[in-house]
């Protein structure tokens, strides 16, 4: 039976959205196209899916929530020319026919390697179901679970069924959709280093492909030490004979520059770079996708996006739970590798990059690499590390990090870190980019805070008192929870006097948009199926990212630096404030909850 949930978070939960939701192909709405997608985006290798499924394939501009229609790719220029203002832009019938023909001739098989594991259950199967539910998967698709555990197809389906939820507004056919989806899920048990076992998988895949063009996506949802074996066997024994073969690789991509380079070169023995989809699920989050839109499609932001107006940028990640259940993995990596070197650094790169030549994956990734290569490696002086310790509050006792049975008692692994990074280029010279990431803190949050400079010669200085910091503007992009973008401004308090206060211009997503926000994994899986690489990490990006962190990580390990201990559920070590103060910065997340 369908599980129902009222959260607007994705994959394993869902939200009610009103039947008047405006997303779709409503022919009566106006449209304003504002960008053309590179023709490469819809290369012949790609599976043609309905445009509603992949926003990156169809840049559209909605105004007042009422506009939504397909932005044609360059291939579709002819229909674009014929459009009059106010008319609707829909795929012409012959285009539909073309894609239907393609749909009939090809098939996509998605193999979740490590299907019995935590990530597969928590994120991958629910995301695949959500895509199916939204009619975003190709007509002919098959999902295979692959792992060592012994399971029948029926057992896999039972396991997956428990993880699926339904959209509340469509629940009347949810159970049906779920069963349809499950009927296309199969299981193959096998070792990760057995070519024979992958050959058995290959045989079964072929049966399902039934002579159609075979496109195969392997999602490596397994521990990193077996990535290469699995890739070797999958490519040698179960690669597609006449279509594409792609592999999604989960992080961690190594522990430092050397191990990451070794992983890349091992993978490249079996795969071309463009077959490797290195996933960083933060890049699939809605607000991170929106970051470039905010910057590059609004005149008011991009001119301010530099050292001239921005005083500092803060990238903040916090979780209100510890390493529960993942201590074994975590202790080998720590928070810097788990969150900063990938999720936060990726956000930084998108935030700080120059305008790309186009929205094409390579153009965007080129700009990201340039930013990363313009940065100075992190210095130990610019980092504070912490580890949570047990704490009792309201009679409830919360465990310390080393209380986890899978963590050594004397572990020095940081569960918290704060760092100051700098970009050595004309745009960002001298601007501190502060990062803060921690587990077992007082809340769960991910946000970007942009603190602007003071207004020079401000006429209203008197109203602010001596603390000018209180009067500076701050733009907050709250990635989660309660996705929002808000700008703190100074405003006159209504009345006869002249009193100013700080107010928010607030775009709270749940108030503005009724449509459920898709899970990052949905977007990324769909992109991988479509061959869209924009949100995946290229190997040179990865090298550049590791170069920034490797010297510091080595120093922390070699010198056995002791972390500052902080109580479970607190705001983290005080050292983070000293670090910020060194650059004349105050963390923006210290005030009242916004
Ligand atoms: N879980 C999460 O929230 C996140 C996970 N990741 C990454 O995703 C990948 C999968 O994570 P997760 O699902 O948590 O991993 P799991 O530890 O749950 O492992 C997945 C599956 O791999 C098999 N497996 C586990 N350990 C070994 C081993 N030592 N040797 C061979 N096979 C093993 C098991 O299947 P079987 O025994 O049936 O073969 C297991 O069900 C990892 O790379 C992880 O770093 C990334 C972000 C978040
Ligand atoms: O990659 C990881 O991310 C999760 C946090 O992801 P979110 O989407 O729930 O914010 C984190 O808990 C985990 O340690 C890390 O490996």
Looking from the CA of residue 317, the nearest atom of ligand 2 is: 10
Which CA distances in Å does 25 have to 28, 30, 31, 41, 52?
9, 11, 11, 21, 8
pLDDT at 202 over 70: yes
CA 12–ligand 2 middle distance (angstroms): 15
E strands in 183-258:
185-189, 213-220, 245-249
Find out whether the beta carbon of 338 lies less than 6 Å from any atom of ligand 2. Answer: yes
Any residues with CB less than 8 A from the CB of 324 and at least 6 apart, and which?
A: 404
Ligand nearest to the CA of 283: 2
Quickly tell me which residue has 């400079």 as its tokens: 453
Identify the burial level of 379 via C-beta atoms within 10 angstroms of its C-beta, where 0-12 means exposed, 13-18 middle and 19 or more buried.
Answer: middle
Residue 128: per-residue pLDDT: 97
CA 52–ligand 1 middle distance (angstroms): 32
**Which of 10, 113, 114, 321 most suits a substitution to test ligand 1, by most atoms within 8 Å of the C-beta?**
114
The Cα diameter of the chain in Å comes to 82
Looking from the CA of residue 323, the nearest atom of ligand 2 is: 14
| Distance (Å, whole) CA 222 – CA 220 | 6
Which residues are designated catalytic?
Answer: 343
Range scoring the smallest mean pLDDT among 144-148, 308-312, 513-517, 537-541: 513-517
CA 565–ligand 1 middle distance (angstroms): 29
**Which of 147, 187, 223 most suits a substitution to test ligand 1, by most atoms within 8 Å of the C-beta?**
223
Alpha helices in 218-344 (DSSP H): 227-238, 257-267, 286-296, 327-335
CA 124–ligand 2 middle distance (angstroms): 14
Question: pLDDT (tens digit, 9 = 90+) per residue, 557-589?
Answer: 999 999 999 999 999 999 999 999 999 999 999
Find out whether the beta carbon of 191 lies less than 6 Å from any atom of ligand 1. Answer: no
| Distance (Å, whole) CA 364 – CA 392 | 47
| Distance (Å, whole) CA 383 – CA 439 | 17
CA 404–ligand 1 middle distance (angstroms): 18
pTM of the model: 0.87
Alpha helices in 297-336 (DSSP H): 327-335
Identify the burial level of 352 via C-beta atoms within 10 angstroms of its C-beta, where 0-12 means exposed, 13-18 middle and 19 or more buried.
Answer: buried
Closest to 317 in 3D by CA, of 589, 548, 569, 591: 589
Higher pLDDT: 86 or 143? It is 143
Question: pLDDT (tens digit, 9 = 90+) per residue, 280-323?
Answer: 999 999 999 999 999 999 999 999 999 999 999 999 999 999 99
pLDDT at 516 over 70: yes
Does the model's ipTM exceed the 0.90 cut?
A: yes
Residue 104: per-residue pLDDT: 83
DSSP state of 502: E
Find out whether the beta carbon of 119 lies less than 6 Å from any atom of ligand 1. Answer: yes
Find out whether the beta carbon of 251 lies less than 6 Å from any atom of ligand 1. Answer: yes
Ligand nearest to the CA of 446: 2
Find out whether the beta carbon of 286 lies less than 6 Å from any atom of ligand 2. Answer: no
- Give the number of other CB atoms < 10 A from CB of residue 589: 17
Residue 460: per-residue pLDDT: 86
Closest to 421 in 3D by CA, of 457, 483, 377, 389: 377
């Amino acid at each position: 039976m369908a599980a129902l949930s009222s959260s607007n978070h994705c994959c394993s939960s869902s939200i009610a959205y009103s039947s008047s939701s405006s997303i779709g192909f409503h022919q009566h709405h106006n449209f304003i196209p504002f960008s053309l997608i590179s023709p490469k985006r819809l290369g012949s290798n790609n599976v043609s899916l309905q445009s509603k499924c992949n926003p990156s394939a169809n840049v559209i501009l909605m105004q007042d929530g009422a506009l939504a229609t397909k932005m044609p790719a360059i291939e579709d220029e002819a229909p674009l020319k014929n459009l009059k203002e106010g008319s609707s832009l829909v795929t012409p019938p012959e285009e539909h026919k073309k894609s239907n023909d393609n749909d009939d001739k090809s098939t996509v098989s998605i193999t979740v390697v490590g299907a019995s594991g935590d990530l597969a259950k928590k994120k991958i199967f629910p995301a695949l179901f959500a895509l199916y539910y939204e009619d975003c998967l190709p007509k002919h698709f098959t999902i295979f679970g692959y792992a060592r555990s012994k399971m029948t197809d029926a057992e896999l389906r039972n396991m997956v069924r428990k993880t699926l939820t339904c959209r509340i507004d469509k629940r009347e056919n949810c159970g049906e959709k779920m069963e349809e989806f499950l009927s296309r899920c199969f299981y193959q048990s096998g070792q990760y280093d057995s070519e024979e076992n992958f050959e058995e998988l290959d045989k079964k895949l072929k049966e399902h492909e039934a002579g159609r063009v075979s496109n195969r996506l392997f999602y490596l949802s397994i521990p990193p030490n077996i990535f290469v074996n699995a890739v070797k066997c999958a490519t040698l024994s179960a690669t597609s004979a006449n279509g594409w073969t792609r592999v999604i690789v989960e992080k961690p991509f190594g522990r430092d520059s050397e191990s990451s380079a070794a992983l890349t070169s091992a993978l490249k023995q079996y795969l071309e770079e463009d077959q490797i989809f290195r996933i960083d699920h933060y890049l699939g989050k809605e607000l991170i996708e929106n970051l470039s839109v905010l910057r590059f499609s609004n005149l008011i932001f991009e001119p301010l996006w530099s050292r001239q107006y921005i005083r500092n940028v803060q990238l903040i990640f916090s979780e209100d739970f510890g390493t529960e259940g993942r201590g074994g993995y975590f202790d080998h990596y720590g928070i810097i590798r788990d969150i900063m070197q990938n999720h936060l650094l990726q956000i930084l790169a998108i935030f700080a990059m120059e305008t790309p030549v186009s929205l094409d994956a390579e153009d965007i990734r080129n700009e990201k690499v340039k930013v990363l290569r313009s940065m100075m490696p992190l210095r130990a002086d610019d980092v504070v590390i912490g580890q949570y310790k047990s704490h009792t509050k309201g009679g409830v006792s919360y465990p310390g990090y080393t209380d986890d049975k899978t963590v050594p008692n004397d572990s020095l692994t940081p569960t918290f870190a704060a760092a100051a990074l700098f970009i050595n280029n004309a745009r960002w010279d001298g601007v501190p980019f502060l990062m803060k990431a921690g587990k077992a803190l007082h809340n769960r949050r991910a946000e970007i805070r942009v603190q602007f400079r003071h207004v020079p010669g401000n006429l209203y200085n008197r109203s602010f008192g001596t603390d000018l910091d209180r009067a500076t503007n701050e733009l907050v992009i709250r990635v989660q929870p309660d996705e929002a973008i808000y700008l703190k401004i100074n405003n006159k308090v209504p009345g006869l006097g002249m009193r100013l206060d700080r107010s928010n211009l607030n775009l709270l997503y749940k108030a503005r948009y009724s449509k459920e926000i898709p899970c990052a994994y949905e977007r990324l899986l769909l992109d991988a199926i479509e061959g869209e690489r924009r949100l995946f990490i290229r190997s040179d990006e990865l090298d550049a990212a590791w170069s920034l962190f490797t010297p510091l990580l080595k120093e922390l390990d070699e010198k056995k630096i002791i972390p500052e201990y902080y109580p479970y559920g607190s705001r983290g070590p005080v050292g983070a404030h000293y670090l910020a103060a060194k650059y004349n910065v105050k963390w923006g997340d210290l005030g009242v909850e916004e």
